[in-house]
Structure 1
Amino acid sequence: MGASTGEGADLPETVMVELRRTATELLGNVTSHADDMLAYIVERVPEASADEELRGLTLGSCSSNLEAALSMVRHGIDVSAAAAPVTALEHARAMAARGYSVDVMLRFYRMGHAYFTERILAGITEFVSGAGLAVEVLDSLQRYAFAYIDRISGEVATEYVAELDRIQTRARAARTDAVRALIAGERVDLRRAERTLSHRLTGWQTGFVCFTDRDDVDLARVGAAVGAHLGSSHPLLVPDGARALWGWASTPGAPGVTVSDLRSLAGQVPEPVRVTVGMPAQGAAGFRDSHVQAQRGRRIVELGGRSASVTSYAEIALVDTMSGDLDLARSFVAAELGGLAVVGQRADEERRALLAVLDAQGGLAAAAEALGVHRNTVLQRMRRAEERRGRPANERVAELHAALYLAQVLGRTVLAPVPDQS
């Protein structure tokens, strides 16, 4: 029997006979050897005996592998025919289910091989008389055992990875189901949902959405940065396809989500990614409401083609409210802005000047500081804006303010498609 053939064509008949007889002798006491192997492994790999079920599977794997390998030697079966015993595969699945690494599981097989070498083969002279013959039998058993372990460990590692994938798939599905149930406002067992999500649903919930138009962006890293900024070191992150990520930060208090609060976060968001953040709200209802706001914020960002990397829903809530019907929003902007409701750089400058003045409650100096231009420039642009509009800025002020804000956030979506030629 060779290292990997098991056919015995390359061994002298005397060696072959002794090899099979030795395997038969060892098989006669396989239960005792399995018990000893278990003790040997547990001493070196304590994880193999973490609980009674795992200990039983470890023992079963020792016994079934010893019996399988020795039986194959006894009957001259090629090692290429070896297949992992059922108990060995179940042991691999149990190791994956308990969260042990594949390295820990494979160490179990290395220690099993070491036991075979140290304990069983060390007493080879008890089975084979004659030093020379014993050495040849020992060499053949060693090579066969190595080839067997090499083959079987590959199979159990494959099963471990497959089981880990099944576990992760089930966990992702359970997390997705729990998230969607919460978003839908269904009655859920909150404690069970918290365990499934590893996320507290009490206290303040702040939802956010990270999205991009590329496939090579690590959105999970962006989501972790957003969560940390909002005060959660372990935010709940749920992929929404390959180009979007839903996230929630659970915190004892409400985090700040104003433009100034989120300004420092913008530097941590890579160029191809946009982030929208909902308003903080409490409990399971807040989990849903803040997420809905972040999603609606994404709609506004995409409609308006906003360049800002981070957008708070608080900043655009009014625009969201007024833009549910885009045709109605366009009509409103056109009616309130008149000739100012067109695409173009000058029209844009005039709208911004007029909006800055309204934001400053008529203060030209404050508007000029906000825009970074001279006070007289603001005044000139404001007057041209009034001329385009066809009525003064102090007429229908609330409507004018809303229309200007709609135009600033949504741009071409609500402005006339004909470019400004003035």
Structure 2
Amino acid sequence: MPPPLSASVIHRKHGRELALFGFVDEATNQGVTATTVKWSMRIRIIDHLDSCRHHVAMHVLPGGDEIQATVQAVAGELVPRCPALAEDATRLITDRVGEARQPGIEDIVLATCRANTLIVLDYLARGVPLEMFTPSAEVVERTRTLVQRGLPLTAVIRGYRIGAHRLTEQWSDAVYAYGPNDRRSVEVAKAGTSYILSWLDLMTERISEEYRNEDERLARERSLSHLEDVRRVLSGPDTDVDNATNRLGYRLSGRHTAIVLRALTNDADAGASLEAAVRELGRATRTPGLTVRVDIRTMWCWLPGPAGDNPRVPPPSVPVLVAIGNPANGLDGFRHSHREALDALRVSEMTAPSTAMVTYYRDVDIAAMCSIVPERCQEFVSSELGTLTSNDRTTRRIRETLMAFYASNSNFRATAANLGIHHNTVRYRLEQAELAIGRPVGERRLALELALHLAHVIGIVDGEIPRASIR
């Protein structure tokens, strides 16, 4: 055998390939050890790693019958040593992955290494093609446990890469000890290494999927539990404020501004839109608060005061409605501001919006109270405005002029100045308004002004307040 090369020479010649597989850090050379450079045969294996990684899982062991038979024989020699090999890999993993050194995690890593080492060597010994491979029930369950213990996916995948790297080293040791003493040893080593790397490719993909599924399941459970806690606070007559504060991680005895977000779409993008809107809201207010997902389209939020008082936020860049209640104090304020935000959302939805918008309860409080029963609201507006409910340009101008007239204390010249038109134009438009409603504009002014306000806030489409979007 040629003399071994130094770690620095290996890193200089093969650092890119080793880093590609996550076996070493290309910049720091971490992971290149004396074991890695024991024989020049390993150098030749590394030279072939680039081609090996194209042997994706769906294949039988490469090489002819003689090479495959030798691979199976070498693997057969290793199978009885699986417990020791797994313990060796576990020590390496816990040494290099800090998260794996948590109490109880090392036992899970060891059990996973034992299961994985056994199945890989058993498949190699029996010549089983990798398309037959599925993670064992034990490995899947261990992965779920790691999620529950809070181990990040990056740490799990790094552990798998370190373990696979160690197994390729153990494989080359076994080929040196049990394999042929000629050039065939390189082919045997390549075949086993290719198999292990292909297994790693398959395993990381499937374990990542299992990890994400379990993570999503836990998130749903946490979200549902959190939502139930919030619902009890909103409706419970005998809420223990201190206990609820601890459960929610949000101080209920302080000052609050409630916000409700509703996605305009009802598809798979709704959740992503809500999350994006919440992030934008956080940047705009710079105030961490309480957020709870209610359904696929809806989120409830509370911002603590005084930073949460009267927040002015821009419309989100995503298709989401934002409704904001008035600031209020204590547990009652937590509930009251939330009811106001829900009412503001109801009013904004009645306008049949097609783009993102922000609605403040203080701007629509009258419309919110008057439109609790939308059909009665519609009847009232139609009765008071008559043909002024038409939505053509001329009628809109008449409504706007009449609202400005009332806002100017029924002063013609002040109205004209505010609108930038001649006072005679104001007189003409008011005459047209009286024809439309069938009475003088000074008669039943309160009812007429309220009807104009409702039509302005909620909107009129083809002579009616929008009904299709009423929920």
Give the TM-score normalised by structure 2: 0.69
Alignment check: 8 A CA contact 1:304 1:410 kept? yes
Shift of 1:316: 1.7
> In 2, distance between residues paired with 1:20 and 1:384?
96
1:47 paired to 2:102: no
Determine helix, strand or coil for the equivalent of 1:265.
coil
Shift of 1:136: 5.9
2:140 maps to: 89
Task: Tell me the amino acid that sits aligned with residue 248 of structure 1.
Answer: C
Give the fraction of aligned pairs with identical amino acids, expressed as a percent.
25
Query: How far does the alpha carbon of each residue in 1:316-371 deviate from its partner, in whole angstroms, 9 at most, with x for none?
Result: 21122223345544554466556756665444433332322322334545544543
Residues 139-158 of structure 1: matches in 2 within 5 Å?
A: 139-158=190-209
Residues 2-17 of structure 1: matches in 2 within 5 Å?
A: 5=60, 10-11=65-66, 15=70
> In 1, distance between residues paired with 2:378 and 2:184?
97
Alignment check: 8 A CA contact 1:20 1:74 kept? yes
- Structure 1 counterpart of 2:362, from 314, 318, 329: 314
- Structure 2 counterpart of 1:22, from 77, 85, 109: 77
Task: Tell me the amino acid that sits aligned with residue 220 of structure 1.
Answer: E
> In 1, distance between residues paired with 2:66 and 2:242?
66
> In 2, distance between residues paired with 1:125 and 1:174?
57
Shift of 1:163: 1.5
Change (3 A) 1:106 1:382: same
Shift of 1:65: 2.2
1:360 maps to: 408
> In 2, distance between residues paired with 1:153 and 1:7?
22
Determine helix, strand or coil for the equivalent of 1:250.
strand
CA RMSD of aligned residues (A): 4.2
- Structure 2 counterpart of 1:59, from 105, 110, 126: 110
Residues 18-417 of structure 1: matches in 2 within 5 Å?
A: 19=74, 22-23=77-78, 27-28=80-81, 30-49=82-101, 51-74=102-125, 80-119=131-170, 121-122=172-173, 125-127=176-178, 130=181, 138-185=189-236, 201=252, 202-212=254-264, 215=267, 218-232=273-287, 236=291, 238=293, 240-241=295-296, 244-253=297-306, 255=308, 257=310, 262=312, 265-266=314-315, 268-269=316-317, 273-305=320-352, 309-326=357-374, 328-330=376-378, 332-333=380-381, 336=384, 345-364=393-412, 366-386=414-434, 388-389=436-437, 391-412=439-460
> In 1, distance between residues paired with 2:67 and 2:385?
102
Shift of 1:411: 4.7
Query: How far does the alpha carbon of each residue in 1:302-327 deviate from its partner, in whole angstroms, 9 at most, with x for none?
Result: 43457993322212211222233455
Structure 2, unpaired ranges of 5+: 1-56, 466-471
Shift of 1:203: 2.8
Moved more, 89-98 or 13-22: 13-22
Determine helix, strand or coil for the equivalent of 1:208.
strand
Moved more, 67-76 or 34-43: 67-76
Give the TM-score normalised by structure 1: 0.75
Change (3 A) 1:110 1:194: farther
Structure 1, unpaired ranges of 5+: 418-422
Alignment check: 8 A CA contact 2:160 2:200 kept? yes
Shift of 1:403: 2.9
Change (3 A) 1:414 1:360: farther
Determine helix, strand or coil for the equivalent of 1:57.
helix
Task: Tell me the amino acid that sits aligned with residue 32 of structure 1.
Answer: A
Say how many residue pairs are matched.
Answer: 404
Determine helix, strand or coil for the equivalent of 1:361.
coil
Shift of 1:256: 5.5
